[in-house]
C-alpha cells in the first residue's frame, strides 16, 4: 500500500467526470488499498479516486468511530432511490482543506455498486452514511461541495485556497 498525494482545489483534474470500471481486478484492488491508506493518513472519512488523480468511478469510505475500522469500497455506484426529505450536515473535503459549510442532501438513499471483490451490492444509507456517499459520488461527476454555496462564498474560498498554493510555507530559522 502507498499514500498518494491528494489533489486540492483549484485544480481542473477535480472537475473531470470519472469513467466506469470495466472489471474489478487486482489493479483496482491495489488502487482501493492505496486510496484507503491515503484517506486514513489524512483523517478523512471518504475519498474518490479522482482526488488522487485517477478518473475511475471508485470510492472508499469509513465512517466508523472509536478506532474500529470498517472500510467500505464502492465501484461504479449508482443512486437507485432517494428521499425527498433533506438532512443538513456541515461538510468538509480533503480536496478543499480547512473549509466547511452546511449542505442539504437527501436524508436517505439506496446505492447499487460493485464491492472490493466485484460483487454486486445494494447499500441502504441514511444520515451520515447517506450524506457521505452522496458527497463522494459528486466527486465522480466533477462536483465539489463548495459548488452548492453562493457564488460569493465559493469564489472567496477558491481565491483563498489558490493564494495559499502560490505562497510557500513561511519558516523562520
Ligand atoms: Ni470530498
Give, as residue ranges, everything with CB less than 5 Å from ion ligand 1. Answer: 93
pLDDT at residue 78 in the model: 98
Q: What separation in Å is there between the alpha carbon of 172 and the centre of ligand 1?
A: 33
pLDDT at residue 109 in the model: 98
State the cell numbers at 84.
425527498
Cα Rg of the chain (Å, integer): 16
Q: Which residues are catalytic?
A: 136
pLDDT at residue 97 in the model: 95
Q: What separation in Å is there between the alpha carbon of 95 and the centre of ligand 1?
A: 6
pLDDT at residue 29 in the model: 98
Q: What separation in Å is there between the alpha carbon of 93 and the centre of ligand 1?
A: 4
Q: What separation in Å is there between the alpha carbon of 173 and the centre of ligand 1?
A: 35
Alpha-carbon 158 to chain mean position: 18
pLDDT at residue 112 in the model: 98
Q: What separation in Å is there between the alpha carbon of 51 and the centre of ligand 1?
A: 8
12-166 in CATH: which number? Answer: 3.90.45.10
Distance CA 87, CA 104 (A): 5
Listed by start position, the domains of the chain span 12-166
Distance CA 89, CA 104 (A): 7
Show Cβ contacts of residue 94 under 8 Å, excluding neighbours closer than 6 positions: 6, 8, 39, 42, 44, 47, 51
Distance CA 90, CA 16 (A): 25
pLDDT by position in tens, the chain (length 173): 899 999 999 999 999 999 999 999 999 999 999 999 999 999 999 999 999 999 999 999 999 987 789 999 999 999 999 999 999 999 999 999 999 999 999 999 999 999 999 999 999 999 999 999 999 999 999 999 999 999 999 999 999 999 988 887 778 88
Q: What is the pLDDT of residues 43-93, one digit of tens each?
A: 999 999 999 999 999 999 999 987 789 999 999 999 999 999 999 999 999
Amino acid at each position: 500500500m502507498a499514500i498518494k498525494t491528494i489533489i486540492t482545489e483549484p485544480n481542473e483534474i477535480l472537475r473531470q467526470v470519472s469513467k466506469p470500471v470495466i472489471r474489478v481486478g487486482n489493479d483496482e484492488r491495489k488502487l482501493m488499498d492505496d486510496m484507503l491508506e491515503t484517506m486514513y493518513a489524512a483523517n478523512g472519512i471518504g475519498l474518490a479516486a479522482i482526488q488522487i488523480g485517477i478518473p475511475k468511478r471508485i470510492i472508499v469510505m469509513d465512517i466508523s468511530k472509536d478506532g474500529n475500522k470498517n472500510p467500505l469500497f464502492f465501484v461504479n455506484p449508482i443512486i437507485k432511490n432517494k428521499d425527498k426529505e433533506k438532512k443538513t450536515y456541515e461538510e468538509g473535503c480533503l480536496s478543499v482543506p480547512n473549509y466547511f459549510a452546511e449542505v442539504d442532501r437527501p436524508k436517505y438513499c439506496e446505492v447499487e455498486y460493485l464491492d472490493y471483490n466485484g460483487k454486486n451490492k445494494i447499500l441502504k444509507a441514511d444520515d451520515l452514511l447517506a450524506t457521505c456517499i452522496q458527497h463522494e459520488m459528486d466527486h465522480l461527476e466533477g462536483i465539489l461541495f463548495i459548488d452548492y454555496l453562493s457564488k460569493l462564498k465559493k469564489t472567496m474560498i477558491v481565491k483563498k485556497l489558490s493564494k495559499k498554493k502560490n505562497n510557500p510555507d513561511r519558516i523562520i530559522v
